[in-house]
A and B are shown apart, each in its own frame.
Chain A
Amino acid sequence: MLLPRVIPCLLLRNAGLVKTIRFQDPTYLGDPINIVKIFNDKEVDELVFLDITATVEDRPPPFDLLSKVSSEAFMPLGYGGGVRRLEDVRAILSLGIEKVIINTYAAENPAFVSAAADFAGSQSVVVSIDVKRDWRGRYQVYTHGGRKATGREPVEYAAQMERAGAGELLLNSIDRDGTMQGYDLELIRRVCSAVSIPVVACGGARTVHDLAAAIHQGGASAVAAGSMFVFQGPLRAVLINFPTRDELKAAFSGEM
């Protein structure tokens, strides 16, 4: 039985792992390698790493750290942050990280998405889309780690990225990030109905029921979450955790 993929989404900042709320106020979680080892032991489906300051600090991806991560992780990996050159794509793939995630540079230069897909195959190219509602409640795509509004509408933007060659979309709700209030199902539904490539929903998950809702009600192919897998309890104590296979099976089959 093929279960939807459930993906811890881990944020790198100054070589440490952090968790944000609405893309702000990063809380330090710990050393990335230690946390990767724990997620490895928990046999998670896939891991995504996003270096949340690479673009704004105009840095390339942290290849040395990624190399260490890759040698400790025996599951599929994705990396995003500061990917701006085909050489970055090649270097990331050669480390054993099979998905390269492009965000800001995809918006600035959609042809780069096509070039990356031609080079690596669409299955290796993920476009990450950060979305926030404006004061009128309209959805808008942001870049630069949520700092810069693009004026683009997410549904039309997602379709453009699919045409450009993206093999998958990572759809983040800035408004829900770190809030654990559940996914923005309306946003997920709109984007998923406009594209045929897999959409990974991210932002807001608290329970396995939230994960199931993003799949069954939103139409996402996979789900990602941060806080749910790194915090425990109302005081947000750092505790790496992940649902068991049986819990996920039950949630996705609607038995819980």
Chain B
Amino acid sequence: MIAIVDYGLGNLGSIANMLKKVGAAATITADPAVIRQADRLILPGVGAFDTGMRNLEERGLIPLLNERVLGDEVPILGVCLGMQLLGRRSEEGQLPGLGWLDAAAVRFKFEGVNAHLKIPHMGWNELTVCQPHPLFADLQEESRFYFVHSYHVVCADPANVLARTTYGFDFTSAVVKGNIIGVQFHPEKSHRFGMTLLQNFAERV
């Protein structure tokens, strides 16, 4: 069973809806007992970095997530803000992130020929997958995903970069470190492309 971690932020219903469509058992929960039994976790999130960390803290979820992800090595998928929280910090906030990845979120900055680009990066964009991973099984090169974000993740270790996307420059759009995976885009809003990705997470990761 997949636990979609409910910490008061994010598109929980849409993720659950798409997992249901691909036949994966999932539940939206903040209940430690349920999270303790899950064989996979999804950390969604839309909103501000500090709000995300504070909400996790207030619900007492951080030690439990550390135990499940670092101790039990349960696969976890961070989505959008959920991916940014996997790192150590963000320019958006003051609070430390979960720190599972040596990474930080920084705000898009455009100048020169790219000065016209809007922030947030909003719309459908493509990925260049940097290393083979079951998350991207059966996804063709022209697959596209829906993005909405003003900050992007920078990894200290290039081995953690799972996919890159171009918006003005190449930024990291997916990360991996063992059982820890993050995607900057919204698979739950990305048609069959996102559906395949979530099914891969449910069945192959």
Contact = CB atoms under 8 A, between A and B. Distances in A.
B54 to A, nearest CB: 15
Nearest to B47: A121
A3 B189 CA distance: 16
B13 A70 contact: yes
A157 B84 CA distance: 35
Contacts of A198: 118, 122
A96 B13 CA distance: 6
B17 interface: yes
A3 B123 CA distance: 7
A96 B11 CA distance: 6
Contact of B118 (A75, A76, A96, A221): A221
Contacts, number: 69
A232 interface: no
Given A2-B167, A70-B14, A43 B118 contact: no
B123 A70 contact: no
Interface in B167-183: 167
A129 interface: no
B123 A121 contact: no
Contact of A98 (B11, B18, B125): B11
Which DSSP category, helix, strand, loop or mixed, fits chain B's interface? mixed
Given A70-B14, A71-B17, A74-B18, A1 B191 contact: no
B194 interface: yes
A3 B122 CA distance: 10
Interface in A17-62: 40, 43, 45
Interface in A211-256: 221-222, 245
Contact of B48 (A45, A121, A124): A121
B126 interface: yes
A74 B191 contact: yes
A96 B124 contact: no
Contacts of B194: 74
B195 interface: yes
A74 B198 CA distance: 12
Interface string A159-203: 000000000000000000000000000000000000011100000
Interface in B81-109: none
A5 interface: yes
Contact of A43 (B14, B47, B186, B192): B192
16 contacts: A1-B166, A3-B123, A5-B122, A5-B124, A40-B191, A43-B191, A45-B146, A70-B14, A70-B17, A74-B18, A75-B146, A75-B190, A76-B146, A96-B11, A98-B46, A123-B148
**What 6 A-B pairs have minimum CB-CB distances, sorted nearest first?**
A96-B14, A96-B13, A2-B125, A43-B191, A5-B123, A76-B189
